[in-house]
A and B are shown apart, each in its own frame.
Chain A
Amino acid sequence: MLRKLLKYDIKEVGMGLLPLYGIVLVLAAIVGITGRLYNGVQNVPLAVTILSVILAVLFFMLLTAMAIMTLFLIVKNYRANLFGNRGYLMNTLPVKASLHVFDKTIIGMLWTCASMGIAILSAVIMVLILFTDNIVAADLAREIKSVLAPFGGSLPAVLAKALLLLLFWAVSMVTLLFASLSIGNLWKEHRVLGAILAFAAIGIIKVLLAVGNMKLSNALGISFTLFGNGSVFSMFEAGNGFMTYSKIGMIGLEDFLYAAVFTWISCIVLRKRLNLQ
């Protein structure tokens, strides 16, 4: 059943995002080509300069739109399918409530990661088109290495850490969104407001937990804690040592603990407190 749910939800969210992905990638290539044509050319016509600026601005606006659309479609997919009119169909399928929540979580993570991947890919396409004529491969590799050095060395190591942290963040954020929407559904009216307030309240609880836990760990002389493991960027600054990976592990544990609690909240609301009006 999970496979079937995923099949329909991937298609539904994809209908909104895939065309946008296509436009972002094409625009990245166009920005790259425009830049490359006039790279090193003196006295570039004003019209071309203006066009290049417009294209670059448009590209960054599209990237922003893609991020917003991803969030919007993930939320819409959950809310409309489970608490809107379509809930009269989805909640009468012979499927457990927990399966609906798992399906939506996988969908949310999948499209969050896909959108981030497309953003990175579009930047790579642009850089490759712009600079391959001017920088030889060895130089490019040396440049990348020097840029990545402060973040923990080699490209694979940095990528692995980034992917892990992205996965942890996505699972925690997506399940938090769904738990907030589920709590909002408990309200008789103004359910969106209820969801926003629930999101804010959970955020405050997380901060309080982190602060309390950090104070406690400082008092006990422990170098890192279960909650409030700090900035994602600090992971890249500390190299590839055991402490770094231990800390990444703690971040993962923290995010998965939160995700488990948020998923439990969503499941309870769907199973015991569903209130379709």
Chain B
Amino acid sequence: MTILECRGLTKKFGKVTALDAIDLNLEAGRIVGLLGPNGSGKTTLIKLANGLISPDAGQVLIDGHEPGPETKAVTAYLPDKDFLPDYMNVEQLLGFYGDFFKDFDSERAMDMIRSLKLDPEQKLKAMSKGTREKIQLILTMARRAKVYLLDEPIAGVDPAARDYILRTIIGNYSQDALVLISTHLIADVENMLDEVIFLKTGHIELHENAEDLRERTGKDVDHLFREVYAC
């Protein structure tokens, strides 16, 4: 079942075309890697799906709806920014997510917080950057969403934190949900991907089942990525 659909999706920033008439269908129950170098349009696509920017042409649909309150209720989004109110402590953040998202599982979030041995009373602004990123991930993955849009979840973190993040994603996403992970660190995520999308200067270069791709080319996704994006 198609859960995320793009029809002729176009976004320009001044003279730069970030996405050029993208057509895309993604099904529920899949983990999809949105792969491409910086500036290829990955973040733009994810922002459009969240309604944080508006398309210049075409549309993006989540569960059949254009971005709005209905889609936001079923989409869990992890941006590549510090986006949480830093005056709140962990407990207050859990309350905030519980207040606004019906699908938020506070028990599951609390379990993850405990596993990290974090103090629920500690304010976000008193935490290290790495810990804040883990809290953001926990809050996102503790939702029983239909769509998870994760923008560069492992960029700029150390290898140990990367492992934690990937384990948290794998261990917590709803099995019937779509997980779209944007990254340029292919080797770290390759094994968890069902499908891969290569984005290049606003176009889809490739969209294929990861296993089929490896069989067809005899190469792993990381090597293919390096070939496609060779400078």
Give residues in A with beta carbon < 8 Å to B: 1, 4, 7-8, 12, 15, 85-89, 91-96, 188, 272-276
Contact = CB atoms under 8 A, between A and B. Distances in A.
B53 A276 contact: yes
Given A92-B75, A94-B72, A96-B69, A274 B53 contact: yes
A276 B11 CA distance: 13
Interface in B1-55: 13-14, 47, 50-54
Given A12-B85, A88-B52, A96-B69, A188 B14 contact: yes
Contacts of B68: 96
Contacts of B51: 91-92, 274
B96 A94 contact: no
Nearest to B76: A92
B83 A94 contact: no
Given A89-B83, A94-B70, A273 B54 contact: yes
Contact of B72 (A4, A93, A274): A93
A30 B98 CA distance: 45
A89 B135 CA distance: 14
Nearest to B79: A88
B52 A94 contact: no
Contacts of B70: 94
Interface residues of B, number: 26
Interface of B: 13-14, 47, 50-54, 68-70, 72-73, 75, 77, 79, 81-85, 87, 96, 99-101
Nearest to B102: A94
- List the 8 closest pairs (A to B, CB-CB), nearest first: A94-B73, A88-B83, A88-B79, A94-B72, A276-B52, A94-B69, A89-B83, A93-B100
Contact of A86 (B53, B85, B99, B100): B85
Nearest to B96: A8
Given A92-B75, A94-B101, A274 B84 contact: no
| Max chain B C-beta neighbours (<10 A), residue from A89, A96, A275 | A89
A87 B52 CA distance: 8
Contacts of A96: 68-69
Given A4-B99, A274-B51, A276-B53, A95 B69 contact: yes
A15 B125 CA distance: 15
A85 B82 CA distance: 7
A94 B73 CA distance: 5
B72 A272 contact: no
B87 to A, nearest CB: 7
Contact of B47 (A15, A188, A276): A276
A88 B77 contact: yes
Nearest to A93: B100
Given A89-B85, A92-B52, 18 more contacts: A8-B96, A15-B87, A85-B81, A86-B83, A86-B85, A87-B83, A89-B84, A91-B50, A91-B51, A92-B51, A92-B77, A93-B101, A94-B72, A95-B72, A95-B100, A188-B13, A275-B54, A276-B52
A34 to B, nearest CB: 36
A202 B13 CA distance: 27
A275 B53 contact: yes
Contacts of A8: 85, 96
A4 B73 CA distance: 15
11 contacts: A1-B100, A85-B82, A87-B52, A87-B83, A88-B77, A88-B81, A88-B83, A92-B51, A92-B77, A94-B69, A96-B69
Contacts of B77: 88, 92
Nearest to A91: B52
Contacts of B84: 86, 89
Given A4-B100, A92-B75, A94-B72, A12 B53 contact: no
A86 B14 CA distance: 25
Nearest to B80: A88
Contacts of A85: 81-83
Nearest to B136: A89
Contacts of A275: 53-54
